Amino acid sequence: MLKKMAALEESLDVPGIVAKLTAANAERDAVVARAKELMEKELLGMADDIATHPEIGFQETRSIGKLTDYLRQHSFSIETGTAGLSTAFVAKYRGNNSRPNLGVILEYDALRGTKGAFHGDQHSAQGPVGIAVAVAMSEYLSRTRTPGSVTVFGTPGEEMMPPNAKTEMHLAHAFDGMDVIVRSHASTVTSRPRYGFGTCCLNIDGAKYTFSGAPAHQMTS
């Protein structure tokens, strides 16, 4: 799998694509500025609210209520219960008009601790960040009448497998028709070794372990 990904990356000339995409572009910069504005004025509060009301995987009913209510207010139609998962959803912009199709993945489940659920992996902010991007892009498509579509995928239980929600949604054909799917995730640093696909999350599977000692997140343990 990694060899195939490396060959695909070489054929795509990812550094060249990145250079093109990061060159001066007033329209793109306006979309980024709008996403930043939405985040700062409206969605940071939602992120804080989700953080103070953590819900573990497949029980994120309050969180998806906050996320989907906001999307409805910005002209997205919502279908919940995707792939038989009660807290999974697909939100499609009502102005969608053909390709290219942009998909935005959201995660919103909390971690489990000895004192209860808590947000230690930034999933409380990941949904609002993704929504800011999706809404900013949908507004751009509507304003400029540019062909394109935006779909938001709510994927529960990333910290709890099985089931693997994204795999189940894929098998249910939820992602069919997407040209590109993106996801935001906070980290402890703001850089990466090089441009490209990366290998942190390829071919993920689930396993259950029992640890003893002080509770900690795997990123720092």
Domain range for 139: 27-183
Q: Count other Cβ atoms within 10 Å, centred on residue 118.
A: 16
| Per-residue pLDDT tens digits of the chain, which is 221 residues long | 778 877 887 888 878 887 887 889 999 999 999 999 999 999 999 999 999 999 999 999 999 999 999 999 999 999 999 999 999 999 999 998 899 999 999 999 999 988 899 998 899 999 999 999 999 999 999 999 999 999 999 999 998 878 999 999 999 999 999 999 999 888 777 666 565 565 555 555 566 777 777 767 666 66
The answer to whether residue 61 sits within a structural domain is: yes
The pLDDT, as a whole number, for residue 209 is 72
Q: Count other Cβ atoms within 10 Å, centred on residue 85.
A: 20
The pLDDT, as a whole number, for residue 185 is 83
The answer to whether residue 129 sits within a structural domain is: yes
Evaluate whether 101 touches 92 at the Cβ level (below 8 Å): no
The two beta strands, 89-93 and 76-80, are antiparallel
CA distance 110 to 157: 8
The answer to whether residue 164 sits within a structural domain is: yes
The answer to whether residue 43 sits within a structural domain is: yes
The pLDDT, as a whole number, for residue 198 is 57
Looking at the 3D structure of the chain, how many domains does it have? Answer: 1
Provide the CATH number for the domain around residue 81.
Answer: 3.40.630.10
Tokens of 25: 């572009």
Evaluate whether 83 touches 169 at the Cβ level (below 8 Å): yes
The pLDDT, as a whole number, for residue 218 is 64
| pTM reported for the whole predicted model | 0.85
The answer to whether residue 143 sits within a structural domain is: yes
The pLDDT, as a whole number, for residue 19 is 85
Token look-up 């997140």 returns 217
The answer to whether residue 62 sits within a structural domain is: yes
